[in-house]
Amino acid sequence: MDIIETTVRKLEGALDRAEGLLSARLVQHDASDAAQRLLDLFMAQRDDVAALVQVGNVDVVATRCDVALAELVRWTPLLGLIHRSKSSANPFEMYGPLLAMAQQAVRPDIRLVVSSEWDFSPFTMPHGTTLEGFVFVGMPATVPDKGLLIALAGHEFGHSVWVVRDAKTVLGPAVFQVVWDRIRARLTEVLLALSAYHIQDEAGLLTLDGLRAWRPACWWALEQVEELFCDLFGLRLFGAAYAHAFAYLLAPGLVDHRVQTYPHPRSRAEVIVRAAQRWGITLPADFVDVFLPPKPGTSAPGGLLGEIADAAALDLVDRLLADAEGHARDRGFELPRAAVVELVRRDLAMVVPSDRGATLAELLCAGWQVRTDSGVWASLPHILAERHRVLDDLLLKSAQVLEYHERIQAAAA
């Protein structure tokens, strides 16, 4: 097999797809720019690989082709995200305010691509991990309440903030310490669980073999810490709207599908309530109760080490609260103003788009108040029958008004 020829063919296939996206009508300007960036990257890889025909060293050729394929694997999913960014399932009306929020949260020159994806939960490819300068956010295509669920993008922005702050490196030692403290507190159980490693005592856990044995707990805890930070950052950006969207999507918890790199859903809910109390955000009294607790007699997915990782991640909540609060404050974010939320709620209750100078977070907080109040539109049966669709339309139209004012202000500045 000619690996140069087959590698070039695969790169040209990606090039064709990128060119096709550029010729399509992409609604989001940043999606077009991302497609162009990918096209340039694919082209550079193809030209480099094609030039290998002049290289006689088989190992050099194979290594360079492998590098090109690794880049292809990394970038190909972005083509899919760009393609689905033009889906009518996207809440295009909220794109402008959401982009402004991403630039304020991450960095001023950040580019944003929002796509409609066939995943149940939102996900992101953060800035600094795939295509430099771009944040990709995939929102679930099957969820009907597009406007209300956009608050979950706050969590996804948190992952880019995590990268920008190099939080994994900064918090790594603290995570190691809390995991180690938890291990020492359950030393007898840990030594029994790790008996296959022939570790006899606490000192043995600090040998190279011992560290290898319990290192997964550190990795799991660090991943959980990132998820908790993103929950807190989403709550800080969107206020109660984030909490409502979180519960709407995940309650009662999908506990049987949990993976060890995510905290238990009920634990996440408890952390959200803890932060809401600290920041003066009002949540329903039964917010935590709608999430199933851990099943009695069952352990975390990772067994004893999983339980230790779960507990260790929660040990750092106070620090994560301060970090989320500090970053939001430094970037000029304020919590949604209750008075403005109330004015927007009144507009929506009158079945008119709101023009109150609200932020996107305030608009969504008001939207959730309307959605959870069964008395709204009770006297309007012709609207009540389609209240969810009507509310979504009102939120999308209000977001357009918000973007209009943002553009006017930017032009006047």
pLDDT in tens, 298-344: 667 889 999 999 999 999 999 999 999 999 999 999 999 999 999 99
State which of 330, 360, 392 marks the end of a domain: 330
Asked whether residue 151 is domain-assigned, the answer is no
Q: For position 299, what pLDDT does the model report? A: 62
Same domain (yes/no): 391, 356: yes
Q: Identity (one letter) of the amino acid at 20? A: G
Q: Is 194 left (phi over 0), alpha (psi -120 to 50) or beta?
A: alpha
Same domain (yes/no): 211, 254: yes
Same domain (yes/no): 110, 244: no
- Residues 152 and 122: beta-carbon distance below 8 Å: yes
Secondary structure in 3-state letters for 54-88: HCCCHHHHHHHHHHHHHHHHHHHHHHHHHHHCCCC
State which of 311, 330, 349 marks the end of a domain: 330
Q: How many distinct structural domains can be found in the chain?
A: 4
**pLDDT per position as a tens digit, 130-152:** 999 999 999 999 988 889 999 99
Same domain (yes/no): 313, 376: no
Give the strand order in the sheet containing 134-140: 111-117, 134-140, 123-125
**pLDDT per position as a tens digit, 240-280:** 999 999 999 999 999 888 899 999 999 999 999 999 999 99
Same domain (yes/no): 190, 305: yes
Q: For position 6, what pLDDT does the model report? A: 96
Same domain (yes/no): 18, 79: yes
- Identify the domain containing residue 114 by its residue range: 87-146
Same domain (yes/no): 205, 320: yes
Same domain (yes/no): 324, 195: yes
CA nearest neighbour of 238 among 321, 362, 122: 362
Distance CA 149, CA 364 (A): 9
Other beta carbons within 10 Å of 29: 13
Same domain (yes/no): 171, 304: yes
Asked whether residue 63 is domain-assigned, the answer is yes
Asked whether residue 6 is domain-assigned, the answer is yes
Asked whether residue 152 is domain-assigned, the answer is no
Secondary structure in 3-state letters for 120-176: CCCEEECCCCCCCCEEEEEEECCCCCHHHHHHHHHHHHHHHHHHHCCHHHHHHHHHH
Asked whether residue 395 is domain-assigned, the answer is yes
- Residues 168 and 188: beta-carbon distance below 8 Å: no
- Residues 290 and 252: beta-carbon distance below 8 Å: yes
Extract the tokens encoding 59. Answer: 């190992």
Same domain (yes/no): 179, 298: yes
Asked whether residue 127 is domain-assigned, the answer is yes
- Residues 96 and 403: beta-carbon distance below 8 Å: yes
